[in-house]
């Protein structure tokens, strides 16, 4: 084989290798993009049938917050993101909003959850008043680690802000199996969706990567509304 033919054959082989590498890179990139697009997506959204819910429960989009009453970030989310979210999507009937308890801060988190669930048992509307007032009562950051969310504090908040609630029944219900089981159901959902931080926000079956990015949240909601 002369040098000219040998050089031509080498050029063909080199070209095939380059084309093969380019195809491989395209396939890897497509696979990566597919992985990214499905990241944070689950087969099904959290079941909210027995959860406190605002808005139209039959709305096309379900927004779920996994939150903890001892969590400063949850308080900040409720103050900075929730009002706009409510105005844009919940009050307009496009989405519902449900809250699921997370107990990352131990007994105080559980106390808040038990009290809130017990209030919802008596009066679902009063739940949201109590919910907001527990976060409002959360102390400053430097005092956050002090034990403040006690059963007595929960009863005090209920007495002040939900006057229609029977306090004796509330105290009894906080220790009941029915309410304990409801909080345990929330814990099962926390495990099922592998919740690692609070707040965690889910739009239908998709977990928001940054709960404080309102643009991301609204984009996900609008995408679900168009489907």
**For 120-151, how does the pLDDT look when each residue is reduced to its tens digit (9 = 90+)?**
999 999 999 999 999 999 998 656 677 899 99
Higher pLDDT, 144 or 184: 184
pLDDT at 59 over 60: yes
pLDDT at 37 over 50: no
**Band of pLDDT at residue 9, cut at 50, 70 and 90:** low
Domain boundaries, the chain: 1-35, 51-223
Q: How large is the C-alpha radius of gyration of the chain?
A: 25
Confirm or reject CATH 3.40.30.10 for domain 51-223, answering yes or no.
yes
Q: Whole-model pTM? A: 0.81
Average pLDDT of span 35-48: 73
Give the pairing of strands 61-67 and 95-101: parallel
Q: What is the overall mean pLDDT for the chain?
A: 86
pLDDT at 17 over 70: no
């Amino acid at each position: 084989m002369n040098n000219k033919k040998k050089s031509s054959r080498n050029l063909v082989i080199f070209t095939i290798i380059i084309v093969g590498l380019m195809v491989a890179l395209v396939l890897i990139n497509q696979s990566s993009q597919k992985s990214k697009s499905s990241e944070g997506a689950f087969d099904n959204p959290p079941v909210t049938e027995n959860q406190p819910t605002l808005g139209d429960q039959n709305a096309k989009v379900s927004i779920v917050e996994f939150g903890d009453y001892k969590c400063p970030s949850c308080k900040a989310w409720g103050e900075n993101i929730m009002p706009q979210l409510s105005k844009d999507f919940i009050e307009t009937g496009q989405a519902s909003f449900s809250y699921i308890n997370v107990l990352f801060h131990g007994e105080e988190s559980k106390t808040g959850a038990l009290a809130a669930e017990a209030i919802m048992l008596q009066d679902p509307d009063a739940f949201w008043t109590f919910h907001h007032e527990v976060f409002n009562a959360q102390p400053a950051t430097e005092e956050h680690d002090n034990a403040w969310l006690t059963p007595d504090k929960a009863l005090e908040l209920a007495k002040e802000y939900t006057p229609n609630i029977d306090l004796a029944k509330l105290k009894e219900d906080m220790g009941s199996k029915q309410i304990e089981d409801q909080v345990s159901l929330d814990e099962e959902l926390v495990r099922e969706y592998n919740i690692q931080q609070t707040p965690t926000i889910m739009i239908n079956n998709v977990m928001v990567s940054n709960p404080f990015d309102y643009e991301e949240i609204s984009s996900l909601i609008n995408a679900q509304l168009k489907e």
